[in-house]
Amino acid sequence: MLFDKFQTMADFQAELAEQHVKPFGAVTEKILSATEGVVEGRNVILAGTNNYLGLSFDPRCIEASREAASRWGTGTTGSRLANGSFTEHQALEKEIAEFYGVDHAIVFSTGYAATMGMCSTLAGPGDTILLDADSHASIYAGVKLSGADIIRFKHNNPEDLAKRLRRLGDRAGQALIIAEGIYSMLGDVAPLQEIAAVKREYGGYLFLDEAHSMGALGETGRGAAQAAGVEADVDFFAGTFSKSLGAIGGFCVSQHAELEAIRFCINAYIFTASSAPSIIASTRAALRIIQEEPQLRQQLWDNAHRLYDGLKALDLPVGPTASPVVAVEMEDRKATIECWKALMAAGVYVNLVIPPASPSTNFLLRNSISAAHTSEQIDTIIAAYSDLIATGLITPTSKAT
């Protein structure tokens, strides 16, 4: 039957219902601040929102959004190519290009549309794409649509990338290489200095998704490439407005003038209604704040280290380095669900991630930290994990068998 392929998910949903938990699509009834809300009837600390700089609740962004809605209306009702390209969209494109120090930019309605649209369009039949094996679902969706030959290289492994480019011979010079700045599930940062060196040796074009690193890394917040000092080696930067910028939308910027022609070949751009003016306005305000208030970035990393160090001190299986994303890996699905349920009961909302969304066969309790979190809130999160250990719901790494 047509629906047979969905039976596994239906069974999993039934299992969750029996346990009276709702880790996927949990409903937020009220937002109290950038770090607190009411989720499924509970007052909780929001530790799974990707609101890295806390700007979704910044009064300047809210006021800009309110004023734009009053002036421009609630929506554009059309694509950028039809009737949905307003001066505000063009202004944001100019500002984000200037932010990255390049001349060309495209603004998309979502981050998914930005990465999927660019990855489905830049390369085509007869071309070759090399992508990190742990790439986001939007990247995989895009390269599948491209019709290009697709080669995966081992996650964060420049040597494997070099080996695969070497095998391409003369074709390497025209290949599209895709990587991310910060990977969204485990929070690990790409070794971009090494990846850029491989690109310089073998050629090709580098597409970098800075969705989780834009605003969080780099001297001025431009992301992982700026932090690594390799921006000149990146041909296309993509990102989202739904993380550090606290809104929704996506972008691609480039030093290549060809981006202006590419714009009119991207289905995800051509056939999608453009972002509402209120969203564009709040994003422009947030972009200015990122540039003017670097202390937010410092506070984000102070908080990230506090959470990471606290969970590591509990001997929990976290990633190799501190990051705004701190995930606890678990092997048992039922135990992971029970831990998520207990965290909610303790007033801490985190993301529960299951394969294939997680980068391995493991399950994740994914925490994302914000500059807006207080030290007390982070300590509460750590204490909630400590209680999981005390009640036997999770086993420290040193005691695992």
Question: pLDDT for 284-307, tens place per residue?
Answer: 999 999 999 999 999 999 999 999
Mention the CATH class of domain 59-292: alpha beta
Backbone angles phi, psi at 250, to 5 degrees: -150, 175
Q: State the pLDDT at residue 334.
A: 87
Task: Tell me if 4-57+294-399 shares its fold with 59-292.
Answer: no
Mean predicted lDDT score pLDDT of the chain = 94
Residue 396, phi-psi category: left (phi > 0), alpha (psi -120 to 50), beta (remainder)? beta
Q: State the pLDDT at residue 360.
A: 67
Angle in degrees, CA 374, 375, 381, rounded to 5? 95
Residue 247 near residue 285 (C-beta atoms within 8 A): no
Percent of the chain with pLDDT over 70: 97
Q: How far is 179 from 44, CA to CA, in rounded Å?
A: 34
Give the pairing type, strands 363-368 and 128-132.
unpaired
Tokens of residue 97, six digits:
């290009």
In 3-state terms, what secondary structure has residue 129?
A: strand
Q: How far is 49 from 54, CA to CA, in rounded Å?
A: 10
Residue 212 near residue 325 (C-beta atoms within 8 A): yes
Torsion of CA 124, 125, 127, 130, to 10 degrees: 70
Q: How far is 161 from 154, CA to CA, in rounded Å?
A: 7
Lowest mean pLDDT segment, chosen from 47-56, 58-67, 360-369: 360-369
Q: How confident is the model at residue 340 (pLDDT cuts 50, 70, 90)?
A: very high
Angstrom distances, CA of residue 230 to CA of 74, 104, 234, 259, 291? 40, 18, 7, 20, 20
Q: How confident is the model at residue 107 (pLDDT cuts 50, 70, 90)?
A: very high
Q: How far is 100 from 78, CA to CA, in rounded Å?
A: 28
Q: State the pLDDT at residue 15.
A: 80
Backbone angles phi, psi at 211, to 5 degrees: -50, -45
Q: State the pLDDT at residue 358.
A: 66
Q: How far is 67 from 72, CA to CA, in rounded Å?
A: 9
**Beta strands, E only, 97-153:** 104-108, 128-132, 149-153
Single pTM value for the model: 0.94
Q: State the pLDDT at residue 401.
A: 40
Tokens of residue 139, six digits:
């990247």
The count of residues in the chain is 401
Superfamily for domain range 4-57+294-399 = Aspartate Aminotransferase, domain 1 (3.90.1150.10)
Q: How far is 335 from 143, CA to CA, in rounded Å?
A: 35
Q: State the pLDDT at residue 399.
A: 58
Domain coordinates in residue numbering, the chain: 4-57+294-399, 59-292
pLDDT of 319 higher than 50:
yes
